[in-house]
A = this chain, B = another copy of it.
Amino acid sequence: MSDSVDYRPMWESLGLDLAAHDMLLAAIPQMYTDAFLTQKDRPEGMAYFDFVMSEIHGLRIKELVDHKAAGGKVIGTFCLYVPEEIIRALGGVAVGLCAGAEWAYDEVEQILPRNTCALIKSFMGFKMGKVCPYVESADLVIGETTCDGKKKAYELFGEMAPVHVMELPQMKRPDDMKLWRAEIDRLVAKLEEVTGNKLTAENLAKGIQEVNDKRRALQHLNAARKASPAPISGKDALLAVQVAFYDDVPRFTQMVNKLADELEARVAAGTGVAPVGAPRVLVTGSPMSIPNWKLPDIIEKAGGVVVTEELCTGSRYYEKLVAEDASSMDAMLDDIAEKYLDINCACFTPNPGRIDDVIRLAKEYNADGILHYALQFCGPYTIEAYSVDKAAQDAGIPVLRVDTDYSMEDVGQLQTRIEAFLEMLEKPAVSA
């Protein structure tokens, strides 16, 4: 965090618990240094992300506060299914909410069961502990019914903050699309009420284009990861998607495109972050929120390289775009509904699209193995792991299944398991 500006009055005005927040801020830089700044041969473009991370509770919050002072609204989200296009069209700024570290679990476990997944306990803890400046800046938090835990936790969260819950259907048939399309209309109405602005074909087209550009930039960046040696670490690529949930959209797009250009040059020059032959890993499963870098950190410190993520903080975020050829607002909203319902979350039944995505990405990115990562007590992903595993076996791709949380207690055990897995993935010609 920058030393030059005193953000404490701003945090205080947002209602943060300053003493607790200091403790949080004291922990993150060391974690970040250990995970990111110790990496060798990083792309220069990552300097931007180092800066963003150093200012994630500082300068970026200042920008949100300024946006609010100018009459704009801040909309907090926890999930990929909330259309940022509409929020931006109405002059809102969408921000992901803090959910990637253990915080105030003692308080959380007074209202939620202990065996709730870490993501949910974390977002409740950050709110109850008053240490997340994003949620405290939010004029509205948008929830969704993607899993039992979130669905029911939002009821309790709603007692602490203004919450609007979108009902995501559980299948993808025409009747589900009707329900979902109606949810989009309800979201528009709610956001028009909160922002005081009116959705138009013009502002929506702009919102669609800006968010598509952001996703295109991430596609651009990620395409370079197909090369061997990988031009960027999995940790750095993950960080880019994590930051996509928080950062100013046009600036982020510009910086990611710049980084992607650099990666293309690295690929052309044969420059990588890991030797050719380092085991290439696809990670799939539950989302990874900042600062949850635990698993890619273990994989890459053990000599592997994560080449793609079939995650909400990965390909699910950037692979699909909203169509840009609609001329009426209604048609644009149809396109938005379609793009979002097309995301393959394990909350759908059945969910063959995700299995296909995993196998397709593993081939496109030349992954030697798949690491299936699930948060403990995340029912949808822990159960779907079985089907992913089976499909991968059929495709001849080794899978390691890891169920974990945000604690560091199992790091030693995970290191051992992951090292053994990577060893198995090493090609004889390379290990000789």
Residues of A within 8 A of B (CB): 111-113, 115-116, 145, 147-149, 151-156, 165, 167, 169-171, 175-176, 178-179, 182-183, 346-347, 349-351, 376-377, 379-380, 382-387, 403
Q: CB-nearest residue of chain B relative to A170?
A: B145
B379–A349 CB distance below 8 A: no
Q: Which of B111, B113, B175, B347 contacts A182 (CB 8 A)?
A: B175
Q: A156 — nearest CB in chain B belongs to which residue?
A: B386
Contacts of A155 in B (CB 8 A): 349-351, 383-384, 387
Contact B152 A346, beta carbon cutoff 8 Å: yes
Number of copies: 2
- Give the CA-CA distance A156 to B350 in the complex, in Å: 10
Report the Cα distance A385→B115, complex, angstroms: 14
Contact A113 B148 (CB under 8 A): no
Interchain CB contact under 8 A, A386 and B179: no
Query: Shortest CB–CB separation between residue A341 and chain B, in angstroms?
Result: 13
List, in ascending order, chain B residues with CB within 8 A of A176's CB: 167, 179
Nearest CB of B to A376, in Å: 7
In the complex, the answer to whether A167 meets B170 with C-beta atoms within 8 Å is yes
Best-buried of A113, A147, A148 by chain B (most CB within 10 Å): A148
Kindly list chain B residues whose C-beta atoms are within 8 Å of the C-beta of A183: 175
Residue A380 contacts which of B152, B169, B376 (CB distance < 8 angstroms)? B152
In Å, the complex CA distance between A347 and B167 comes to 12
CA distance A383 to B113 in the complex (A): 6
**A349 → chain B closest CB, angstroms:** 5
Q: Which residues of B contact A156 (CB under 8 A)?
A: 383, 386-387
In-complex Cβ contact of A382 among B113, B167, B170 (8 A): B113
Write 22 A-B pairs (CB below 8 A) sorted by A numbering: A113-B379, A115-B115, A116-B379, A145-B170, A145-B171, A147-B148, A147-B379, A148-B149, A148-B379, A148-B380, A149-B383, A151-B349, A152-B383, A153-B383, A155-B349, A155-B351, A155-B383, A155-B384, A156-B383, A167-B176, A169-B169, A377-B377
B residues less than 8 Å from A351 (CB atoms): 155
Whether A152 lies near B379 (C-beta < 8 A) is yes
A347 to B145 Cα, complex, angstroms: 10
Give the chain B neighbours of A377 by CB distance below 8 A. Answer: 115, 377, 379
- CA–CA, A155 and B348, complex, Å: 11
Residues of chain B within 8 A of A151, CB atoms compared: 170, 349, 380
Q: Which residues of B contact A170 (CB under 8 A)?
A: 145, 151, 167, 170
**In the bound complex, what is the Cα–Cα distance between A256 and B133 (angstroms)?**
60
- Cα distance A153–B380 in the bound complex, in angstroms: 9
Complex CA distance for A156 and B390, rounded to whole angstroms: 12
Residue of A115, A116, A351 contacting most chain B CB atoms (<10 Å): A115
- Chain B residues positioned under 8 Å from A346 (CB to CB): 152
Assembly CA distance A167 to B168 (angstroms):
12
Name which of A113, A156, A386 has the most chain B CB atoms within 10 A of its CB.
A113
Shortest Cβ gap from A154 to chain B (Å):
7
For the complex, what is the distance from the CA of A382 to the CA of B113, rounded to whole Å?
6
Q: Are B349 and A154 touching (Cβ within 8 A)?
A: yes
**Which B-chain residue is minimally distant from A383 (CB atoms)?**
B152
Contact B386 A111 (CB under 8 A): yes
CB-CB under 8 A from A167, the residues of chain B are: 169-171, 176
Task: Please indicate the chain B residues that have their CB under 8 angstroms from the CB of A380 in the complex.
Answer: 148, 151-152
